[in-house]
Every structure is written in structure tokens, then in C-alpha cells.
Structure 1
């Protein structure tokens, strides 16, 4: 369970809303499943209400601008209205700024009633200098890309990434610089270190194709 304190965003909203602690999800939304995501950035598990939220955690882990984040950080009760809203994520950036994020599957994103309600929240929050980003699954989820990222993230979990620069140098010295993953493991690099370099984009591959030892990587 994450225990991050995002007081800046709550302070921004103090004049228009009361932010209450959000309880951890015990079951997912209709058709969804509670998933526990092992966050390296938070050094703690993140409780997600759906697999889609867990998939978005991969994007936050991979984004070098993100310092840490929390899922369902609090419920916003807008003063003088019946509006209650719990954002999917609150993200703290390395710059010190904070940002709320709401994600929806593509069907919900195209639902005018749902999108209209979220748009109203965006407007209310923006008036207080608080950013709420609204994203459809199509912006980050892919049937091949997402499983690849899961595979690399969990493969890289025990690596500190210290071999990344060396791996990149090896590929840079190759002509051409594209080599199969097997070339790296044959040169003594562990799968964990290669996975770390790929997940955090020290080196690159075609993430939209299934990954295997013959997949090409480059610097």
C-alpha cells in the first residue's frame, strides 16, 4: 500500500472541495478485477481497481519525469454540490508539480455522459490551478505492447540498471547497431539487465511486436 502525501493538490482545492481519504478497493468495477501492482518508484504495492489501471502504472514507472504516484489518492467532495469524484491517479513529477489523471476504456471514453461529467471536473479543478488529464485506453494500452512491458518490467525488477550504459555502448559500436537480444546475453549480460535497459529505454526495440531472443534491439 502506498502512503504518499500529496498536500499541494489538496491545498489548491481547499476553497472549493473537501478531500477525504479513499478506502482501498476490495473489488473492481463491473467487469474489472482488483490488481496489486508492485511499484518500484513507490517502493510499495499499488492497489488498482482494474487491470487497465495496472497497465497504466507501467507507463508511470517508465516515464522518467514521474517521481512517484498514488492510485485513488482521495475523494473530492465539491462544496455546495452533489459532485463527488475520486481520480484514478495522482502523480508527483520530478519538477515538484502534481497532476491528477483519469483513465477510461475506449467505450467509456466515447460515452457522452461519462466524458461530459469528467470534463466538468476538469473545468472545476482548472479554475484552482489543478490539472486533471483524461486519457482513453487507446493512448497507452496495446494487445502486444502492454504484455511486452509487463514482461520487461517484471524481468527488470531485480536489476539496478548498472549495466545499461555498457549495453548501450556495445550496441553503439556494432555496425549496424541492431542486434538480436541473444547477442547481448551471449556477451554475458543477464536477461534482467537487458530487460531493465529496454523497459527504461536505455536501448530500444519494436515494442509492438512479440519479444523473443531474436528480437532486434538498438541504441
Structure 2
């Protein structure tokens, strides 16, 4: 039977630095799969902030003392908190991992009071969606003029980035503003196709 107390250890030393705009500081993680998840969190409007490699905890299972560190602690915009364990699709389907995760899920719910969730990152290292997030990341803090905002709100049907620029004056909208519209959710697009001048975009309110 598991113990009903989780004793904290010091933080695990991470290995990959990630410059977080949402947290306004460097975050650290241990794998490229986790980096993909951090990119997703940066673009997720329901996540207020997050912390990677939070406290490690000791617990007892099968008579042995063990230690576990969740990958991420998240705070939602609604004030709720949850922990995440980030895995690739292959890692998440390993039977030994599933048994351990089920055990820890129940333990965190009983003892910590915040859920431990399994997240399968949607951004594998070489996929187009990850490349799009990496490209659009620089535009997350871009500000818009009233003119560019009006142009984007008027795109009711799919148009290429190039055609929008051709139909508008430079004073109305720029390529950077269109890409920022994609990054900040004002415009929609097929996320699994590489973003470029020939990407079809449309107003997010007109889906």
C-alpha cells in the first residue's frame, strides 16, 4: 500500500532552456517532447502560467521508497492548478508507464489535491505544427494597429497571406501583423501545413 504523505525533495536539475514569453523568464525541461508541450502552453489561452520541474516527491510503492517529479505545474485562467506528465505517443503507451501513472494519478488526487494529467504532446520534433509554433512564437507579443485589426476581422473566407497583402495597403496591414494574427488566435489556418505567403487564413470568428 502507498504511504499517504509525499515528502518533497530538491528540484531536479534540468537540461534544456526555453525562453517563455508567458512566464517572462527562462523555463527548463529535460526532453524535446517537453519543449513541444511548452510551445503548446505558450499558445493556450486557458493557461495563465506554468512551472517546469516543480518539486520532487517521495512515495512508497511495493515496499520500496521511490521519487517522482512531475514535468509541469500549470495554473489555468480560472484559478485551477494541475500537474502534467508529458510523453510522446510511444512513451504514453508503454504498459509499465501506464501502471505507474495510474498509481501516481490516484496518489496526487488523494494527497496533493491537484490532478496529475497525462499529456501526449501534439508537436513531435519534426512535424509541421511544431515548426509553425516555433515560427509564430516571435509574434505572440506583437501589437496591432486599428487598421490591421479591421482588415483581419473582415476576412470571412480563406485568403492567402499574399492576396491579403495585395488587396491592402502597407498602411493597413503588414505580413508581420498577419502572422501575429495567426499566433494570437485572431486568424485561423490549417495548422498542419507550413505557414508562408501562400497559407490560407480566415477570421477566427467566421469558422
**TM-score of the superposed pair, with normalisation by structure 2:** 0.82
- Flag structure 1 segments of 5+ consecutive residues without an equivalent: 1-14, 27-34
Q: 1:207 to 1:100 in 2, by over 3 A?
A: same
Cα shift at 1:47: 1.2
- Once residues 21 and 166 of structure 1 are traced to their aligned partners in structure 2, the CA distance between those partners, rounded to angstroms, is 51
- Aligned partner of 2:74 among 91, 94, 97: 91
- Once residues 59 and 110 of structure 1 are traced to their aligned partners in structure 2, the CA distance between those partners, rounded to angstroms, is 21
- Once residues 90 and 193 of structure 1 are traced to their aligned partners in structure 2, the CA distance between those partners, rounded to angstroms, is 32
* Secondary structure in 1 matching 2:65: coil
2:52 is aligned with 1:63: no
Q: CA RMSD in A?
A: 2.2
2:150 is aligned with 1:161: no
* Secondary structure in 1 matching 2:41: helix
2:178 is aligned with 1:178: no
2:17 is aligned with 1:36: yes
CA contact (8 A) 1:197 1:203 kept: yes
Q: Between Structure 1 and Structure 2, how many residues are aligned? A: 191
- Once residues 160 and 148 of structure 1 are traced to their aligned partners in structure 2, the CA distance between those partners, rounded to angstroms, is 16
Match of 2:194 in 1: 210
Match of 1:10 in 2: none
Cα shift at 1:60: 0.6
Where do 1:64-213 residues align within 5 Å?
Answer: 64-78=45-59, 82-128=65-111, 129-137=113-121, 140-142=122-124, 143-154=127-138, 156=139, 159-163=141-145, 166-167=147-148, 169-174=150-155, 177-186=157-166, 187=168, 188=170, 189-213=173-197
Cα shift at 1:150: 0.9
- Once residues 196 and 70 of structure 1 are traced to their aligned partners in structure 2, the CA distance between those partners, rounded to angstroms, is 25
CA contact (8 A) 2:12 2:69 kept: no
Match of 1:30 in 2: none
Larger-gyration structure (1/2):
2
- Once residues 40 and 166 of structure 1 are traced to their aligned partners in structure 2, the CA distance between those partners, rounded to angstroms, is 26
CA deviations on 1:108-148 (whole Å, 9 max, x unpaired) are: 111100111011100111123221110223xx225111111
**TM-score of the superposed pair, with normalisation by structure 1:** 0.78
* Secondary structure in 1 matching 2:192: coil
- Flag structure 2 segments of 5+ consecutive residues without an equivalent: none
